[in-house]
Amino acid sequence: MGLLDDKVAIITGAGGGLGEAYAKLFAKEGAAIVVNDLGTTVNGVGASAGAARVVADILEAGGRAVANGDDVSTMDGGRNILRSAIDAFGHVDILICNAGILRDRTFAKISEEDWDLVLKVHLKGTYCCTLPVWEWLKDNGRPGVIIMTSSTSGLFGNFGQANYGAAKAAIYGLIRVLSIEGRKYGIRVMGVAPNAITRMWAGVPVALDADRLSILRPENVAPGVLFLASDLAADHSGKVIAISGEEIAEAKMLMAQGFQPKGPYTAQDVAAHAASVFFPGDPLFGSKTDGRA
């Protein structure tokens, strides 16, 4: 018995990296997989046959999978991705919004095109894929799980990733809202902030020894995402889990103790209560900001 027997999972951006690791593990656990990938490079250009390769690997291992090459950032693409699942397997139970690109630059050097495209793929892509699945689950009275990809770059910040971080922070907000709206329909909405060495790390100047490179493989993120998608996490919704081969921990928005004025107050009053208004120390520079989705 697998954790996902008889389930159907759509995984976007599954032609390589994290998505491929999710697809292969989910298939091993009994799910039928729609392997979506447009096949572009990290910066959103070009094409490849990654989805077909991943499908071939799953089929060879005795699993069930079909390839889909639609663009996640259009409504037609999102609808066609859902249609692939319905046509091939009859239903859908799980959606993982994993597709993404990078166009990293410091804020003053980000072009409007770089800003728009990164938000289009990550944020609009999450919307375009989620809405058709959401409506299908709701209209058919089926519970389901939607997992969206945020990032520590959006939750905590990361140098040179204003466009990417803004998109990933917005996805956190979407997770929170849809987890509330999904309660009445039995739709769980979870988030993952993965940290793994994929092609998105190609331009990052970091030096890692062989042991850490092995630990930070996409295959060591996949079991945590499997947990989120399975009934093992049935009691959880609206949460974002940072996952790597080194650590699994919830990341969330918090408020400090705060200053509660009982009437009119001044800016000087706020300054006098700064120790309560702010968290101790600096959470930005004290946080792990090297995670990338």
Residues 199, 39 contacting (CB under 8 angstroms):
no
Residues 6+ apart with CB under 8 A from 133: 10, 82, 92, 95, 144, 146
The string of DSSP letters for 177-246 reads HHHHHTGGGTEEEEEEEEB---GGGTT------HHHHHHTSGGGTHHHHHHHHSGGGTT--S-EEEE-SS
The Cα 18–Cα 195 span in angstroms is 9
The Cα 256–Cα 160 span in angstroms is 28
The Cα 197–Cα 221 span in angstroms is 10
DSSP 3-state of 95:
strand
Burial of residue 218 (number of CB atoms within 10 Å: 0-12, 13-18, 19+)? buried
Annotated catalytic residues are 164
Residue found under tokens 């799953």: 58
Token digits of residue 41: 């490079």
